[in-house]
Chains A and B, each alone.
Chain A
């Protein structure tokens, strides 16, 4: 209520009630019967729209003839929006996204609000979510988001394990070479099953001049067939289909990745490699080197820096690096970069040019003084004043 209005009727009730219980001015205003002017203002708060009230006033009756809304009811856009709404609703609810579904449920809840009395919420439960934009950061991680390391989590440290890993990688790459398959695809199968690993372990490598071609010696003919069948399935899928006729063998020999949760024994408790011919294999060919080091790195969990990969030339050196016998220092890869000054000074073309002067050190003010021939004069003056010895 307006303060001026309140002041009009303030005096009389105060005097009347002075003898009885004291009531504060606010409470007195609440209980006091309202004047006609106040009722006029209150009329605005009724649910009847102003257009309807104007119409009633014009016609002088509470039920005037004609349209309720003199401006033609809903606009074209409002009508269209209402018509489209029932069609859009089922489409949105079909979306699989949890975040969007929540938003839809919330918005649906707003529109289909019950006509009952309003009850203020005491907890957040059942309330519409506000401020959720449905971004990927708000959703829980899916299968795609999970990260699995390429290398084994545990780095092998024992020399016999390094030897077993190098032998396995060498045999696998020999097999892929003999089958004319992409070499680096041996990494698709992280770990073989025990019978396959046994066959790989029994294979020997006898390279002629470090060559990979024809270096592999199988234990027997059956092993050769089984390994050829198994490795035929690794890599491209086109050749797999042709080999898939032999269903009986497929059950036994199909390569499968081992469940990482299960407790595993390293190299199926094999202690040593049967022969050492694989150490003589050459890594001169870049494709073979890449495939071997990739597989070796995957099996041992060791990382090979680029300069090391560049300098390694045989399987023996790779094992030596993993075993710590070779280092960046011994490979002379830790040298500091050469400075430009000496390079330019040594350059024959720049030496021949009479207008070029190269300094290897930073030129300071002293150098400038010396060049201009005033260094001696400055020093003499300073010495005379006792500023330098």
Chain B
């Protein structure tokens, strides 16, 4: 009886066909008293509405956290959380941090060592024109 290989079935890849944003919730915490929350307060007053309007699929919660530094906390669909302290940051920098959390997958940060990342690794490596026989046209 001939040996049969296991048949590959298409695995779901986020973004192939449909893209589901991994971030489901963003919590914004601030302090009314502390100076390190000045940028955060300014962001919440002026930029939060536009940010929320641009990202309707993310739930946004704003709550005070007295006598603590301001924090943005992202909740992801894989059950993980990511928190970024935004003390003494300007509103523009806070927007950048919020976007960073929004675009994150929720996975732990991994170090990429190889030049190409693939789910179907090549055995031959990356092709280079400077290796092998000289080709003449």
Contacts and interface: CB of A to CB of B under 8 A. Distances in A.
A359 B64 contact: yes
B52 A362 contact: no
Chain A binding surface, main DSSP class: loop
Interface residues of B, number: 21
B49 A340 contact: no
A343 B65 CA distance: 16
B72 interface: no
A344 B63 contact: no
Contacts of B41: 340
Given A340-B30, A344-B44, A359 B61 contact: yes
Interface in B7-56: 30, 32, 41, 44-45, 48-49, 52-53, 55-56
A347 to B, nearest CB: 7
Contacts of A353: 49, 52-53, 60
Contact of A340 (B44, B55, B61): B44
Q: Which of B49, B65, B66 has the most CB of A within 10 A?
A: B49
Interface in A352-369: 353-363
B60 A356 contact: yes
A359 B32 CA distance: 13
B107 interface: no
A356 B52 contact: yes
B62 interface: yes
B58 interface: yes
A363 B32 CA distance: 15
A357 B61 CA distance: 5
B92 interface: no
Interface in A273-293: none
B59 interface: yes
B60 A357 contact: yes
Contacts of B53: 353
Contacts of B65: 362
Interface in B89-109: none
A80 interface: no
A341 B64 contact: yes
A385 interface: no
A344 B64 CA distance: 11
A360 B64 contact: yes
A359 B63 contact: yes
A29 B119 CA distance: 93
A85 interface: no
B53 to A, nearest CB: 6
Nearest to A360: B64
18 contacts: A340-B41, A340-B44, A340-B64, A341-B32, A344-B44, A350-B48, A350-B49, A356-B48, A356-B49, A357-B61, A357-B62, A358-B63, A359-B61, A359-B64, A360-B64, A362-B64, A362-B66, A363-B61
Interface of B: 30, 32, 41, 44-45, 48-49, 52-53, 55-66
Interface of A: 337, 339-341, 343-344, 347, 349-350, 353-363
